[in-house]
Amino acid sequence: MFLLKVLKSDANLSELRAQSLGVLVFEGKMDEALDALGDLKGPIKLQADIENFNGKKEKAFKVTLPGSRIPRVFLVGLGLESEVKLDDFRVAAAIYTKEAQKSCAEELYLFFPKISAPLSQAIAEGCLLGSYQFDLYKTKKEKGESGIKDVYIIGGDDEFIERGVHLACGQNYARGLANEPPNVINPLSLANIASELADDMKLDCKIYDEKGLEEMGMNALLAVGKGSVNPPRLIHLTYKQAADSRVKVALVGKGLTFDSGGLNIKASENMRTMKGDKAGACTLLGVMRTLPKLNLQIEVHALIGAVENMPSGSSYKPDDIIRAYNGKTIEIDNTDAEGRVTMADILSFASGLSPSYILDVATLTGACAVALGPYTAGLFSNDQAFCNTLLEISSFTGERLWQLPLDDVRLRKRLDSPFADVLNSAGRYGGAITAAMFLREFVREGISWAHLDIAGVNYYKDPFGYYPKGASGFGVRTILEWLSKLQGP
């Protein structure tokens, strides 16, 4: 993976000399996009007309002008102006960055004639998100590609570009962690990573080992980890910029560093990519890495249950009854519904901090992916105003959320157990909803809570837009934008 800088430029396009220029074009409005290029407009438009490029969404066209002041010009389509969304600019910037990278350009300029502060942020995010690649373990790098060093947004807003850089770097950091294989990241090494992050970012950090967890009564977390040689950890990071922070938030992340399913073992095709079951935890670490750079005057606690779910003679079993941190008892129906069991303890612990809000992020259910597909995360909440805020923010960040219900009393009855307070699984139908209902049992009354089920969006087998193959880092930017709104104007 290489790093690039995204900066503002006040360059005059009619005089600019550069290795590469990207121009974002509304469909059917080529002249408007190219007017500022002066002497280059004619030859660029001629080639575009010959190839019938007219700015259709996500289409790119490379114009080569040997010997000219800008030898490579990339036209990237935004689609119809009346239909364009902010996220289309992220995607277009990512397409340009990737195409320019193939051309071995090290210095890129990017132009859009109607640039604004929000567009500056979105374009900066798109450039960085589009440039991400996880090649840490490749001994031979891809041929024909070089590292882009600098991207200049012509006429952009310095403050918003910097903000976009911070948010995108947080997401790319989360991607990098989530892509790491399970022989590299286990509960112990994830705790070490969190501790090092805390040192770097001047965060408070507390790591609870298995002895501490037992003394605390974290029996659910411990039960899930019983089958592994790698013992579980509770990670608690705290960001507190001001002594009198008006808002306290608890973020809870599922940190299954690998999920075999336990004794209810997964089929082999379903076990592949289960390194990504720690994606919720990685999202939170990306958030906490970025928070100090945004200088928000709030108090944020990130709580991660790091555990490995493996089958062995010591594994927890179907029919086990476990007493969670808040005293409620859980009957185990399925050991592959382990994430919610782990999070039961962490949500209970988070409630004890008496935050105004709890937001949890988890690759919780395949049922959510079945319901919403691979591009939209499920959103559940006990507070409609909180939910509405997250939905509004997601339309800005492009991280699609869809609210699912929590008010079906008949579905809730399927979690009732004749032997304990609650079952950990209510079967296949409505599985994302009943899993969220289970989590709600461990959130203290009076706390605004929201749950993001990112099981369908945490990992992509095929690249698209600004997402490469592999971990997505979904949720980092949405959470950071929400935390920024909590601070107020």
Active-site residues, by number, are: 266, 340
CA distances to 287, 424, 477 from 319, in Å: 37, 10, 40
| Contact (CB, 8 A) for 180 and 275 | yes
CA separation for the pair 330, 93 (Å, rounded)? 48
Is residue 348 within 8 A of residue 342, CB to CB? The reply is no
β partners of residue 150: 5, 107
- Taking CA atoms, 104 is separated from 72, 107, 146, 149, 157, in Å, by 11, 9, 5, 11, 27
Give Cβ neighbours of residue 351 (< 8 Å, ≥ 6 apart).
250, 326, 358, 442, 443, 444, 447
Read off the amino acid at residue 134.
F
Polymer length in residues for the chain: 489
CA angle at 475 for the pair 470 and 476, rounded to the nearest 5°: 95
- Adjacent-strand bridge partners of 471: 459
CA distance 126 to 76: 13
Type and span of the H or E element at 68? none
**Is the CB of residue 434 less than 8 Å from the CB of residue 422?**
no
Calpha distance 276→174 (Å, rounded): 11
How many CA atoms, within 13 angstroms, populate the side-chain half-sphere of residue 31?
Answer: 0
Residues 264 and 334 sit within 8 Å (Cβ to Cβ): yes
The CA–CA distances, whole Å, from 144 to 100, 403, 455 equal 11, 44, 34
Q: Determine the Cα–Cα distance for residues 115 and 85; give it in Å rounded to an integer.
A: 14
The CA distance from 456 to 369, in Å, is 4
- DSSP symbol at 445: T
| Order of strands across the sheet that contains 20-26 | 5-9, 150-154, 107-111, 20-26, 72-79, 60-64
Structure tokens at 83: 């239909």
